[in-house]
Chains A and B, each alone.
Chain A
Amino acid sequence: DVKVTQSSRYLVKRTGEKVFLECVQDMDHENMFWYRQDPGLGLRLIYFSYDVKMKEKGDIPEGYSVSREKKERFSLILESASTNQTSMYLCASYRQGAETQYFGPGTRLLVL
């Protein structure tokens, strides 16, 4: 059974803080993704990574960066959090060739 976990379910941060969101998968998947989910906007891709130390921008990368030092871990970084980054953040992973993405439980981030 694929397990994708995220470091926090709920997070409250202040404007300007540096925020780290961690995602870990235990199935040796090559591909990992970060999405944000907002009401009425669906899931929008922020960044994805298809291998260790490899990353590509998604549709809304502004204000975010990522890190993939190990295959199982993909981190999303908000260098200087802003109120418009208040959202639900979902991590996903999948095995090359399988196509089905498995999602983590999500982190609901509130930036005050």
Chain B
Amino acid sequence: GENVEQHPSTLSVQEGDSAVIKCTYSDSASNYFPWYKQELGKRPQLIIDIRSNVGEKKDQRIAVTLNKTAKHFSLHITETQPEDSAVYFCAASGQGGSEKLVFGKGTKLTVNP
């Protein structure tokens, strides 16, 4: 089945710097890659997603890139702010039409003022 690896597990940046979180997946049939943000004590919320027919997607300060050949995708946050501090999860949809998401283990991002 699908396996998703996420790195780094923790990331600390200064306010205004960029942050990059990387994920790799194993199933070449996966075609949907969402990113979730989970603030302390809250539910995961979708922040951006990308489908396999697109190489890059941007939404204000957040962008996601996908390299299908290498089977990796990344989350880029520019001009980080303290409110970006959270745990971020990547995920990939499994094969076989079940549309189950397999999640990475998460990255705890801390943005220092």
Contacts and interface: CB of A to CB of B under 8 A. Distances in A.
A100 B43 contact: no
Nearest to A97: B99
Interface residues of B, number: 23
B43 A41 contact: no
B63 interface: no
Sorted nearest first, the 6 A-B pairs with minimum C-beta distance are: A42-B105, A103-B43, A43-B103, A42-B103, A103-B44, A42-B106
Contacts of A105: 42-43
A94 to B, nearest CB: 8
Interface of A: 31, 33, 35, 40-45, 48, 50, 56, 58-59, 90, 99-106
A100 B49 contact: yes
A106 B44 CA distance: 9
A99 B99 contact: yes
Nearest to A42: B105
Contacts of A43: 44, 89, 103
B100 interface: yes
A40 B100 contact: no
B68 to A, nearest CB: 17
Contacts of A42: 6, 89, 103-106
Contact of B101 (A40, A41, A101): A101
A38 to B, nearest CB: 10
B103 A104 contact: no
B46 A100 contact: yes
